[in-house]
Amino acid sequence: MLYTDEKLGLWVPIALLLFAAVNFAVPSGFWFRVDRLDVHDGVYGQPIIVDYDREIIRPFTADWRVKIRRASGDGLEWVCASPLQREDYDDRSRKPQPVTLEWLAWTDPRCYELTPGDYVMTVTWELNPDGLQSLFLRRTVSMTDSFTIEAAL
């Protein structure tokens, strides 16, 4: 026969394991989904248009960052990495029309005042749905696209 404290000793670890399993099993799409991030080719000095289609399903907090690299020789060199920004995302939030690279990477002008060349942009969102930087709920969404900036005529 098990005493109350022995039963409790059995159920607490089981409950903790179930809690952890459920939290690890929930995908980022439970809160946020990015269906498209397509940077249009552009002309130097003109706004760069971005097809950015995302859905905020439930409110959450996330840290986001834009990184841009430029094709150089046989590799890629860093142009910019915007500072990590924390934002509260709400399902009532609306994007501007059109979405521009300046709007997406507003924290660092080096990320949107680009000279002619071939570029690769990566945007990363680190979702923290509980707002506590919890390892249990932290999810990462990352999208990458390449684009070209032509010289103005």
Which residues have a Cβ under 8 Å from the Cβ of 94 and sit 6 or more positions away? none
Tell me the domain boundaries of the chain: 28-150
Q: What is the pLDDT of residues 131-151, one digit of tens each?
A: 665 656 778 899 999 999 999
Fold of domain 28-150: Immunoglobulin-like (2.60.40)
| pTM score, whole prediction | 0.80
Which is it for the CA torsion 123, 128, 131, 132, positive or negative?
Answer: negative
pLDDT at 1 over 60: no
Put residue 45 in one of left, alpha, beta given phi > 0 → left and psi -120 to 50 → alpha.
left
Dist. CA 46–CA 69, nearest whole Å = 19
Q: What is the pLDDT of residues 66-122, one digit of tens each?
A: 999 999 988 999 999 999 899 999 988 889 999 999 999 998 999 999 999 999 999
End-to-end CA distance of the chain: 87
